[in-house]
């Protein structure tokens, strides 16, 4: 999970998963063809796919809008704790992946 500025409203902050990077081709449930991610961009999706304002609405996002990696859940209180890595949803997947691109390499 990463935080970024919304490409449509710079005052709005988003917390989304990065599903793909430049060179990847993403296909979602609502698209009949793959969507190529251009250089310097990534594909963001929210966990609540039916009600998420994400790349399915505004397309690939410039990587420069991403400014932090989220590590904890603080709201609602009953969910406090460390973020875990969930599996991809069945309705989205990478058609073609660029193995050379990462945003934050592991130390």
Paired residues of 92 in beta bridges: 28
Sorted by where each starts, the structural domains of the chain and their CATH numbers stand as: 2-96 (2.10.109.10)
Q: Is the pLDDT of residue 90 over 50?
A: no
Digit-coded pLDDT (tens) for 53-67: 899 888 999 999 998
pLDDT of residue 71: 80
Q: What average pLDDT does range 15-24 have in this prediction?
A: 88
């Amino acid at each position: 999970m990463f935080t970024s500025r919304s490409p449509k409203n710079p005052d709005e902050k988003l917390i989304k998963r990065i599903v793909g990077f430049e060179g990847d081709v993403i296909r979602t449930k609502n698209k009949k063809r793959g969507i190529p991610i251009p250089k310097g961009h990534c594909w963001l999706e929210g966990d609540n796919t039916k009600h998420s304002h994400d790349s399915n609405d505004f397309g690939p996002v410039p990587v420069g809008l991403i400014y932090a990696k989220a590590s904890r859940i603080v709201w609602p209180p009953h969910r406090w704790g460390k973020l875990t890595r969930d599996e991809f949803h069945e309705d989205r997947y990478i058609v073609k992946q660029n193995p050379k691109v990462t945003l934050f390499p592991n130390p």
